[in-house]
Amino acid sequence: MFSAVNVAVAEELRIGVVDVTKLLEESPQAEELRKRLDSEFQRRSKDLLAKQKQLKNLSDKLSRDGAVMSDAEVKRLELDVRTRRRQLKSASDEFREDLNLRRNEESQKLRRQLTEVIHQLGKDENIDLILDNAVYASARVNLTDKVLQRLNAQFRK
């Protein structure tokens, strides 16, 4: 008797599955986020690359010309290379930390937007339970493309 009730309840239960990882990679909002962060951090990235190049040039000069330089010049250049290496490491660490912080902030905003769209889809289609990913989900219960369509529509507005 209980199994008949369980089957009836299971038949009434509407379940959907979304691939949030796919949405975070393929939504236009995610692409916009990547472009915005690239633009925001582009100048600092170029500055770091220029400093790396300067450091490499100094190191190459020391290796190449160190034998013909005076001891004082070699020591001064070695000190300069060490100082610049420390400064570059510090600047690189700060850059990475700032980029990760901004990426996390913006990703949280995007996740909230995804959650809102998924909730609204669930309400609109009378879905009782929506899961984030599953080992297996038939196309019938996979809502990822529907969520992506709604995100595309929101993005165009």
pLDDT-derived band of residue 92, with 50, 70 and 90 as boundaries? very high
pLDDT-derived band of residue 3, with 50, 70 and 90 as boundaries? low
What is the model's pTM? 0.76
What residues contact 81, with CB distance under 8 A and at least 6 apart? 55, 58, 59, 62
Cα–Cα distance measured from residue 142 to residue 121, given in angstroms and rounded to the nearest whole number: 12
The yes/no answer on whether domain 8-156 falls in CATH 3.30.910.20 is yes
Cα–Cα distance measured from residue 100 to residue 90, given in angstroms and rounded to the nearest whole number: 15
What residues contact 50, with CB distance under 8 A and at least 6 apart? none
pLDDT-derived band of residue 115, with 50, 70 and 90 as boundaries? very high
Instruction: Provide mean pLDDT across the span 74-79.
Output: 94
